[in-house]
Chains A and B, each alone.
Chain A
Amino acid sequence: GAGVSQSPSNKVTEKGKDVELRCDPISGHTALYWYRQSLGQGLEFLIYFQGNSAPDKSGLPSDRFSAERTGGSVSTLTIQRTQQEDSAVYLCASSRKGLAGAETQYFGPGTRLLVL
Chain B
Amino acid sequence: GENVEQHPSTLSVQEGDSAVIKCTYSDSASNYFPWYKQELGKGPQLIIDIRSNVGEKKDQRIAVTLNKTAKHFSLHITETQPEDSAVYFCAASMKRAGGTSYGKLTFGQGTILTVHP
Is B truly associated with A? yes
| A→B interface (CB under 8 Å) | 4, 31, 33, 35, 41-45, 48, 50, 53, 56, 58-59, 91, 93, 95, 97, 100-110
Q: Classify chain B's interface size.
A: 20 to 34
Q: Is the CB of A107 within 8 A of B101?
A: no
CB < 8 Å neighbour of A48 from B6, B46, B89, B104: B104
The 8 A CB mask of B20-49 against A (1 = contact, 0 = none) is: 000000000000101010000111111001
Q: How far is the CA of A101 from the CA of B52 in the complex (A)?
A: 12
Q: Is the CB of B43 within 8 A of A107?
A: yes
| B→A interface (CB under 8 Å) | 6, 32, 34, 36, 41-46, 49, 51, 89, 91, 95-96, 99-110
Across the interface, which residues of B come within 8 angstroms of A48, CB to CB?
A: 103-104
A50, A53, A102, A103 — which one has the most chain B CB atoms within 10 A of its CB?
Answer: A102
- If A102-B49, A105-B34 touch, whether A43 touches B101 (CB-CB below 8 Å) is no
Q: Is the CB of A45 within 8 A of B51?
A: no
Q: Is the CB of A104 within 8 A of B34?
A: yes
Q: Is the CB of A50 within 8 A of B32?
A: no
Q: How far is the CA of A58 from the CA of B109 in the complex (A)?
A: 20
Q: Is the CB of A97 within 8 A of B44?
A: no
- If A105-B46, A110-B43 touch, whether A56 touches B89 (CB-CB below 8 Å) is no
CB<8 Å pairs between A and B, sample of 15: A42-B6, A42-B109, A42-B110, A50-B103, A56-B96, A56-B103, A97-B101, A100-B51, A101-B102, A102-B32, A102-B102, A105-B105, A106-B46, A109-B41, A110-B43
Q: Is the CB of A43 within 8 A of B105?
A: yes
